[in-house]
Amino acid sequence: MKVAVGQFAVNKVWQENVQTCLALMAQARATGAQLLVLPEAVLARDDSDPDLSVKSAQTMDDEFIDRLCEQSRNDNLTTILTLHIKTTVGRAANTLLAIRGGEVIARYQKLHLYDAFNVQESRLVDAGNVLPPLIEVAGFKVGLMTCYDLRFPEMALSLALAGADVLVLPAAWLRGPNKEMHWSTLLAARALDTTCYVVASGECGNKNIGHSRVVDPLGVVIAAANQRPALIYAELEGEYLTEVRAMLPVLKNRRFGVPRLL
Strand 135-137 to 119-120 pairing: unpaired
Q: Which is catalytic among the residues 147, 196, 203, 204?
A: 147
Q: Report residue 62: phi and psi, to 5°.
A: -85, 180
Going by the DSSP 8-state scheme, the letter that residue 58 receives in this structure is B
Residue 207 appears among annotated catalytic residues: no
From the list 12, 16, 21, 40, the catalytic residue is 40
* Residue closest to 87 by CA, chosen among 118, 54, 119, 110: 54
List the catalytic residue out of 69, 70, 86, 110.
Answer: 110
CA 136 to CA 142: how far, in whole Å? 6
CA distance 98 to 227: 25
Examine the residue annotation and report whether 55 is marked as an active-site residue of this protein. no
CB atoms within 10 A of CB 222: 14
How many beta carbons lie within 10 A of that of residue 168, not counting itself? 29
Burial class (CB in 10 A: 0-12, 13-18, 19+), 59: exposed
204 counts as catalytic: no
**Residues annotated as catalytic (active site), given as ranges:** 40, 110, 147
